[in-house]
Amino acid sequence: MSETYDLVVKGGRVVLPGGTVDCDVGVRDGLIAELGEIAPDKAGETLDAAGLTVLPGVIDSQVHFREPGMEHKEDLASGTAAAALGGVTSIFEMPNTKPPTTDAAALHDKLDRAKGRAWTDHAFFVGATADNLDQLPELERLPGVPGIKVFMGSSTGSLLVDEEELLAEIAHRTNRRFSVHAEDEARLRERLSIVRDHGATVELHPEWRDVTAATLATERICRLCRRHGGRVQVLHISTAEEMDILAQYKDVATVEVTPQHLTLAAPECYREHGSYAQMNPPIREARHRDGLWRALRRRIVDVIGSDHAPHAAEEKEAAYPATPSGIPGVQTLLPLMLDHVNAGRLSLEHLAELTAAGPARAFSVMRKGRIAVGYDADLALVDANATREITLDWLASKTGWSPFAGRTVTGWPVATVLRGQVVARDGALVGSPQGRPVGFLDTLRSGRP
């Protein structure tokens, strides 16, 4: 009996691990079952991809969806809706919620909240604290956990871990790759007076949280990982100097950059957007942006993540430095990066590596990150030649704002397929939320002797 498929993505230009080819993608039981020319009568459903590029669905390994405790900023339903509309099929959510995700009960609460509400597959980081070090080896291996998150720089409550002895313990005790926000807390405290002076403006944000605060922390965590056998993902790198350091630690460190740091530059971004461009670590001057692109071209960068960090507009309108840091970005990640592809800054194949294969490799994700037989049928269909304006009415985040609103880009997500189900098409969600917890190779033996 001849093979039939639940879905055939027909006639697209498909970005495969070995290159980009014209072929159809046959899907059965949520998995990619065939790549090649597939007869029309073999498809239960056909998704016309003529004139489109088929990318592996984006794995956004750094988002803040604010649930529980801050649902006025975002929640799991609105955040994953924004993700799906932007071509993102899996998200890893951060632990700085209220309460923070620092134990199994808080993790299970988030997993329960996501059931029937998440438009994408999902996983939830567990935050390291001074009080849960003994539990980290068990917590990092729970199903639905991509790893441990460490805040070395200013954060909320107990999630700050800045003492070298504690950081060394985390590097020693964890078996999986853990993720780090690397800013030196002692230096941030020393320099706080820079922005506490009367009349301080947001343009001082990168002076307060300066290059040295970033390089001290990044060098420190990499050194400790090498000494104690740890593995680290250093998040949202913002300086050219850090990339020079990280190039020396590729045995223990993987590297993330954000579209914000690759696209914006100071002081222009603060003059145009004010505190709406404020994030940690800061957007810096153009030489740092150029340094990030240089590191990306040299393959020092492993992952592009959005660091989607929404806040209400009224919170952003407060007087600096009382304004919260963070920029929404999960839905604009792919349009911004496709625009950079169109400008010749990277190839489609490299984009797929950074947004799908890279995070899958860094976190040992099961059956995701590439278009290949046997993998989840997670796909982002994009029109690489379409010129569109990023508009507020397209954005699904609760924030209702973006520093990229009004920006015209070339390259646009047209449809998103999650495990063989079309969940977004032509700017609208399709069907009902289908998200499930992401699987990780490192959790397979969780709970076994």
Token pair, residue 234, equals 């250093």
- Mean pLDDT for 149-177 is 90
| pLDDT one-digit tens code per residue, 77-109 | 999 999 999 999 999 999 999 999 999 999 999
How many whole angstroms separate alpha carbon 215 and alpha carbon 165?
A: 19
Q: Tell me the one-letter amino acid at 293.
A: W
- Mean pLDDT for 243-269 is 98
How many whole angstroms separate alpha carbon 283 and alpha carbon 289?
A: 8
Q: Would the CA dihedral through 192, 186, 309, 87 be positive or negative?
A: positive
Q: Where along the chain do its domains lie? A: 5-54+373-388+398-429, 55-362
CB 186 within 8 A of CB 132: no
pLDDT at 1: 40
Which of 307, 339, 378, 442 is the catalytic position? 307
- State yes or no: is 307 an active-site residue: yes
**Residue 446: pLDDT band by 50, 70, 90 thresholds?**
low
How many whole angstroms separate alpha carbon 148 and alpha carbon 141?
A: 10
| pLDDT one-digit tens code per residue, 387-418 | 999 999 999 999 999 999 999 999 999 999 99
**In the chain, how long is the greatest CA-to-CA distance?**
78
- Mean pLDDT for 153-169 is 85
The SS3 call for residue 135 is helix
pLDDT for residue 157 is more than 70: no
pLDDT for residue 448 is more than 60: no
Provide DSSP, 253-288: EEEEE-HHHHH--BTHHHHHHGGGG--SSPP-BHHH
| pLDDT one-digit tens code per residue, 273-283 | 999 999 999 99
Helix (H) or strand (E) run with residue 196 in it: helix 193-196
| Side-chain half-sphere CA neighbours of 205 within 13 A | 31
Cα angle value 174/176/177 (rounded, 5°): 105
CATH fold label, 5-54+373-388+398-429? Urease, subunit C; domain 1 (2.30.40)
Output the CATH code of domain 55-362: 3.20.20.140
Query: 438: closest CA among 7, 27, 114?
Result: 114
pLDDT for residue 133 is more than 80: yes
Numbers of helices and strands, H then E, in the chain: 16, 18
Chain length of the chain = 449
| β-strand partners of 31 | 28, 376
Backbone phi, psi, residue 247, to 5°: -60, -25
| pLDDT one-digit tens code per residue, 46-89 | 999 999 999 999 999 999 999 999 999 999 999 999 999 999 99
CB 123 within 8 A of CB 145: yes
Q: Classify residue 353 by its DSSP letter.
A: I
- Mean pLDDT for 323-349 is 98
Is the bond preceding residue 137 a cis peptide, omega within 30 degrees? no
| β-strand partners of 424 | 416, 429
**Residue 233: pLDDT band by 50, 70, 90 thresholds?**
very high
- Mean pLDDT for 125-137 is 96
- Mean pLDDT for 326-355 is 98
Q: Would the CA dihedral through 295, 299, 300, 301 be positive or negative?
A: positive
Pairing relationship of beta strands 88-93 and 121-124 according to DSSP bridges: parallel
Arithmetic mean of pLDDT over the chain = 96
The SS3 call for residue 421 is strand
